[in-house]
Amino acid sequence: MASVVKINVLTLSAEQRETLEKRFAGRLGAVERSDGFEWFELLRPVEGTDDYFVYTRWRSEADFQAWLAGPMRDAHQALFAMKPALFSSTVWSFDVVQQAGPTS
């Protein structure tokens, strides 16, 4: 079974970028202990967009859904309760069909 990638696209005001990054830094370790969790990255926009991307990779869709419904649900929702700073949040879902890493 291939991994599942979730990308949460966050649109927020420029003034709230630092606040968002600090909130994510404050929750380090929270998702990493979840069953089926494989990877996390918070991506700051450099060019081409003003949106932040929250990249997570999971063993399966079921593992991701269990995390959403589990004890971290309230903490996760609090992170995104930054209104009006957070203007929108959209989740994109992907199946990993190919992957590669360093060969040497």
Q: Are strands 52-58 and 86-95 parallel, antiparallel or unpaired?
A: unpaired
| Of 89, 99, 98, nearest in space to 7 by CA | 89
Flag whether 103 is in a domain.
no
* pLDDT score for 81: 61
Average of per-residue pLDDT values in the chain: 84
* CATH number for the domain that contains residue 32: 3.30.70.100
- Whether 79 is in a domain gets the answer yes
Highest mean pLDDT among 17-21, 22-26, 35-39: 35-39
User: Structurally, how many domains does the chain consist of?
Assistant: 1
Q: What is the pLDDT of residues 27-74, one digit of tens each?
A: 767 788 889 999 999 999 999 999 999 999 999 999 999 988 886 666
Q: How would you list the strands of the sheet with 37-43, edge to edge?
A: 37-43, 52-58, 4-12, 86-95
Check residue 14 and give its pLDDT.
Answer: 84
Q: Which domain holds residue 29?
A: 4-93
Q: Which of residues 75 and 51 earns the better pLDDT score? A: 51
Q: Which of 42, 50, 45 is nearest to 8 (CA)?
A: 42
Judge whether 102 lies within some domain: no
